[in-house]
Amino acid sequence: MGFIDSFKQNFIEADRWKYLWDGLLTTLEITGAAVLLGLFLGFIIAIVRCTYLKTGKMKLANILCRIYLTVIRGTPVVVQLLIIYFVVFASVNISKTFVAIIAFGINSGAYVAEIVRGGIMSIDNGQMEAGRSLGLNYRQTMTYIIMPQALKTVLPALANECIVLLKETSVAGYIAIADLTKGGDIIRSQTFSPFLPLLSVAAIYLVMVMFLTFLVGKLERRLSANDRR
The span from the CA of 113 to the CA of 78, in Å, is: 20
Angle between helix axes 195-228 and 180-191 (nearest 10 degrees) is 160
Contact 48, 61 (CB under 8 A): yes
pLDDT of 197 > 70? The answer is yes
pLDDT of 1 reads: 62
| pTM confidence score | 0.90
pLDDT score of 91: 85
Pick among 1.10.3720.10, 3.20.20.450, 2.30.110.20, 3.40.190.10: CATH of 3-228: 1.10.3720.10
Q: In the prediction, which pLDDT does 104 show?
A: 97
Return the amino acid letter for 2: G
Q: What local confidence, expressed as pLDDT, does residue 144 receive?
A: 84
pLDDT at 134 over 90: no
DSSP for 4-64 reads: HHHHIIIIIGGGTHHHHHHHHHHHHHHHHHHHHHHHHHHHHHHHHHHHHHHHS--HHHHHH
Q: Give me the residue spans of the domains in the chain.
A: 3-228
**Mean pLDDT estimate for the chain:** 90
